[in-house]
Amino acid sequence: MSRQKLESLGLKLPLFPTTSVGSFPKPDYLAKARAEFNKKRISEKDLHDLERKATAFWIEEQEKLGIDVLVDGEMYRGDMVAYFAERLPGFSISGLVRSYGNRYYHKPIISSEVAWRTPLTVDWWKYAQSLTKKPVKGMLTGGYTIMDWSFNEFYPDRRSAALALAKVVRKEVEALIAAGCKIIQIDEPALSVRPEELPIALEAMDLTTKGQNAYFITHACYGEFDKIYPGMLDLAVDNFDLEMSNSDLDLLELFRRHPFTKDISFGVVDVHSHRTDSGEVVRKRIEQALTILPKEGVWVDPDCGLKTRTVEQAIEKLRACVTAAKSFRNE
Amino acid sequence: MSATPGLYLSSAGGYPRIGDSPELQALRRTIAALDRGERSHADLLDVQNDVTRQVIAEQVKAGLDVVTDGLIRWYDPISHLAGKLDNIEIKGLVRFFDTNTYFRQPVFVGAPIKRGNLAAGEYSFARNALGHLPTPQGKAGKLSIKSVLTGPYTLGRFSLSEQSGDGSSEAYASLEARAQAYAEILASEFEPLSQAGAELIQIDEPAAIKYPNDWAIFEASLALLIQARDRITKSGRKLELALYVYFHDCAPLYEKLLALPVDIVGLDFTYSPKLVDIVASAGSPKWLGLGLIDGRNTKLEDPAQIARQIDRMLPKIKDQRAFLGPSSGLEYLPRDRAFAKLELLSKVRAELKGQKRQ
């Protein structure tokens, strides 16, 4: 069904299209440059030039690996919510809060009405797309997750905040489509953390994507999917990108009980480990997927973003995805 | 059991361990230096001690009656206690409820064994630190410090068991077995805590209201802690047990929570829009912890509005005695805002006394 949508958008993808979830590790020179920039030792332009260099590197690597749907690798982003919050009117940035261990971050605060004034990701998407003939995904974070990962000092409740943000994200979707983007991923990693709020997440995504002419993917991870499945299938996207390997494919059991009705970007490689799963293990995961899911709807990618891995590890994990996917195309 | 009526201002557990100014980031810097091999564990202990003293002082400065050590030494609410046990290995990161923070997951590889004390040493240090602070005006004999322990059910719920070569961990494959194992160990900590001067132990069981189908398992594990408390109170010492639940709507379980043989039930009001009405109407045969201040959001509540809510509930609570505090530990907030939330507690009490400040 969604394959027809892809074709109507002029996208002819092979069976088992390969992609990645969004982020890639920043090369050492960029990681150092970001630290230097924070200490005001280099200019914004210097940093920007290096971000472009790193983006070009990752586009080239994805091309070499033979990936079908590319990403820009988010070389210019630190965090998937903070990037937007730092640029959208309505947000301020809090003092440091702990994420885990010795890691702290500045959590955004919704302190007044949120608004969209200017595109936030379009120039980066255009740049990345200019470097390849293959489709590059537009990469956004959904209104529900931005709400959940921010403090809210303005809106009366979580629903109002999520819906206001969903409308803002819609503006960015419109800008990406106007620029020529045909596949847009809107990540909602917070989707399953409060199962009782699934209706809010559904409403928010509806506000963002309804009537928009693009193929939409959402990525979700780390959650209690048993509590939101099959209700989550009502999310207004074409493709769910799910972390399958890290949970030993236990979501397949849910899919057995109630058919999975969307396309799926099936995470076949664990991203939390330094080592790459063997080709045999990755192939086995796809085989198991195909016992339940129609092959026309299965995309292949790593479980999650690869930014916490080294450049070499990330490339190896991507290679494992591509090798496995290609081996199934010929069968 | 009866006690002095009144509204006590109480911490709910954790407190931010760093702030934004360089002098408030000593702990972060020290851990990073330790990771690089440039500082020792003794250095870390020194800094943890300093920060613990600071956060106790901040709670006292904010006007609290019942403080904690801020859980400054805890890596997270699950692995801190579990990681001190033999035959439990601490593994990968798992998201802690809906907080977007992470804990390291304990895995049973055999029968857990406690060596030394789990919390009594930390409690003893904190109690001593509180004792060394100048007593604020009007607080003589009224300031106390409680011990906070993550409860056995929550620890068990977020632990796994791994098949060991000799089969010794298979006994912990069930949640029930893990919760009981943790309960036995935590119960054995009550005596050293009491010996160290603890008269109030707070047991955090957020998972109990998130997974109500496991209520029997939760209740059975709690029973061991109740027995441990009773052994101490029968010997003539004072020890009260508080059960704190948060991060989920507790309203559907209100009656069941109040039926548990604990002394205080601490409730998170932020997930339960109807909870004030329920307490105001049904009352409580137990002292309550009133988590009316949102410990997860920077927005500062209106003290007058909180005071009105307390006005409705307090007359219906046993002995008209309650503990006003944040809905959960405050470590999810920036340090400055956490302090502002604590100051808010005093403003609420001032409202109640008709002595509005400013």
Q: Is the peptide bond before B206 cis (omega within 30 degrees of 0)?
A: no
B291 pLDDT band, cuts 50/70/90, is very high
Contacting residues of A for B334, CB less than 8 Å apart: 94-97, 107
Is the pLDDT score of B356 beyond 70?
A: no
Partner-chain contact B333 A272, CB within 8 Å: no
Is A96 within 8 Å of B20 when comparing Cβ atoms? yes
**Residue A267 confidence (pLDDT):** 93
The answer to whether residue B3 scores a pLDDT higher than 70 is no
Mutate to test the interface with A, among B17, B72, B75, B100 (most CBs of A within 10 A): B100
Radius of gyration of chain A (CA): 19
Closest CA of chain A from B347, distance in Å:
20
Query: Which chain A residue lies closest to B19 (C-alpha atoms)?
Result: A96
The mean pLDDT of B227-247, rounded to a whole number, is 98
Give the distance between the most distant pair of CA atoms in chain B.
Answer: 67
What one-character DSSP code corresponds to residue A277?
P
pLDDT the model gives residue B136: 87
Of B19, B95, B101, the CB nearest to A95: B19
Length of chain A: 331
Nearest to A309 by CA among A81, A44, A108, A20: A20
Distance from CA of B336 to the nearest CA of A (A): 8
Is residue B270 predicted with pLDDT exceeding 80? yes
* In the predicted structure, residue A269 carries a pLDDT above the cut 60: yes
Q: Sorting pLDDT into bands at 50, 70 and 90, what band is A234? A: very high
pLDDT of the residue at A216: 98
Place B164 in a pLDDT band, splitting at 50, 70 and 90. low
Nearest CA-CA distance, residue B229 and chain A, Å: 33
CB-CB neighbors (< 8 A) of B17 in chain A:
98
The span from the CA of A263 to the CA of A215, in Å, is: 11
pLDDT at position B12, please?
Answer: 97
Of residues B32, B93, B297, nearest to A100 (C-beta): B93
Q: Residue A169: enclosing H or E segment and its boundaries? A: helix A158-179
Higher pLDDT, A249 or B18: B18
Compare all CA atoms of chain B with the CA of A153 and give the residue at the minimum distance.
Answer: B299
% chain B with pLDDT above 70: 97
Mean pLDDT of A117-137: 98
Inter-chain touch A148–B98, beta carbons under 8 Å? yes
- For chain B, say whether A151 makes contact (Cβ under 8 Å): yes
Query: Does A264 score more than 60 pLDDT?
Result: yes
Residue B153 has pLDDT above 50, yes or no: yes
pLDDT at B141: 81
pLDDT value of position B357: 41
The number of residues making up chain B comes to 358
- Residue A94 touches partner B, C-beta closer than 8 Å: yes
Mean confidence (pLDDT) of chain B? 94
Chain A: residue whose CA lies nearest to B30: A102
**pLDDT band at B1; cut points 50, 70, 90:** very low
CA distances from B80 to A224, B88, B100, B277 (A): 24, 12, 18, 37
B80-97 per-position pLDDT tens digit: 999 999 999 998 888 899
Nearest to A95 among B28, B76, B335 (CB): B335
Across the interface, which of B32, B100, B298 has its CB nearest the CB of A109?
Answer: B298
Query: Following DSSP, what letter does each residue of A94-106 receive, concatenated?
Result: EEEEEEETTEEEE
* Res A187 pLDDT > 80: yes
**B326 touches B340 (CB < 8 A):** no
CB B228 within 8 A of CB B191: yes
Looking at the predicted structure, is the pLDDT value of residue B168 above 90?
Answer: no
- Residue A308, chain B, CB below 8 Å: the answer is no
pLDDT given for residue B2 in this prediction: 45
* Separation of CA A49 from chain center: 24
User: Nearest to residue A182, comparing CAs of A106, A69, A21, A263?
Assistant: A69
Q: What is the mean pLDDT of chain A?
A: 94
Class of residue B167 by CB neighbours under 10 A (exposed 0-12, middle 13-18, buried 19+): exposed
Tens-digit pLDDT profile for residues B302-323? 999 999 999 999 999 999 999 9
What is the rounded CA–CA span in Å between residue B232 and residue B239?
Answer: 7
